[in-house]
Amino acid sequence: MGAIGAFYQTHRTTLGVLIPLAFLILLIAVFTSFNERFLSWVNVFNLMRQSSILLLVATGTTFVILMGAIDLSVGSIVTVVAITAALLLREAGMNAIEVVAIGAAIGAVCGAINGALVVYTRVPSFVATLSTMIVFGGISTWVAGGANVTFRNAEMTWLASGKLIWQIPNSGLWALVIFATAAFVGARSTFGRALYAIGAGGTAARLSGIDVSRIQMIAFIVSGILCGLAGLLLVARTSTGTARMGDDLLLEAIAAVVMGGTALSGGAGGVHRTILGVLVISVLKNGMNVAGVHPYAQIGITGLIVIIAVTLTLDRSRLASVK
């Protein structure tokens, strides 16, 4: 075991890509054997549509995890933005552009609240975002009056289900554009490098001249905005806002991030790798639906993947840095 452990630590970066990639290829092979149309263009576009929401949430979550923190409120932010958007479309008669702007702003405010709790009150991110998860979830239920909020708006529906380029669903197109932008920022910008530095050691980053508090605030706000955009795409696709509609995204986003190779201890991985984890989760869910696996069993299987992914990516020499 010592030799195996040493080998893994030495080749952590390479294995962090090869293991999920091999698992993805295995999943595709298995599900294609069950249904030969699994790799058809129709199902590929369906996968893009299904994975777009998760890709946005997981991208925002990656920014937070890279600095060694966690955001447990992502699903609740998606829900509160989705329900608010549905109400604005139905009750206030706003157009799609106005609703998108307001939804993104609500996500930014939620992210700023999370960031302020972590930065200014020094509450650990796990506790802070666990609390706001409950608060945001309660607000969404209260705003909706405990009922589903349905609406009809052709512009909003087109944003998610329309096709601007060929047969690619717009939701998948927007998600890919935003992901590519975020991946570039995470890998090439001063902000991205600061996230790695904070994840590797907050004290050392502060001593090197990085404004740690400002970077932490920005990371949480970015996460909130991306969750808000995910909520907008989700409600645009379903034309209905429901309480707790974003709850499953928390587990799936964390699973995608760690499966993609970003360690929960922070400082390793990157936004550009998250898409691999999103593909694994999306293909797994789509394949299990095709195979007729019970929804509750799907949740359990996803949870098992989180355990395996964390086990493979967590740097145990830096457990104290997981905040």
- Indicate yes or no: pTM above 0.85: yes
Digit-coded pLDDT (tens) for 230-242: 999 999 998 888 8
Alpha carbons 127 and 323: distance in angstroms, whole number: 10
Q: Left (φ > 0), alpha (ψ -120 to 50) or beta: where does 241 sit? A: beta
pLDDT at 321: 46
pLDDT at 322: 44
Alpha carbons 44 and 237: distance in angstroms, whole number: 17
pLDDT at 214: 94
Digit-coded pLDDT (tens) for 127-180: 999 999 999 999 999 988 878 898 888 899 998 888 888 888 999 999 999 999
Please return the burial class of 112, using the count of CB atoms within 10 Å of its CB with bins 0-12, 13-18 and 19+. middle
* DSSP-assigned beta bridge partners for residue 124: none
Q: Residue 145 corresponds to which tokens in the numbers above?
A: 């009056």
What does the DSSP assignment read for 282-317? HHHHHHHHHHT--HHHHHHHHHHHHHHHHHHH--GG
Q: Sign of the C-alpha dihedral, residues 125, 127, 133, 139?
A: negative
- Residue 194's φ and ψ, nearest 5 degrees, are -65, -35
Nearest 10 degrees: CA dihedral of 40, 45, 48, 53? -130
pLDDT at 315: 54
Kindly list the averaged pLDDT for each block of 10 residues, start to end, along the chain of length 323.
54 66 86 81 86 95 93 95 94 89 96 96 93 94 87 90 86 94 92 90 84 94 97 92 88 87 82 91 85 80 72 56 45
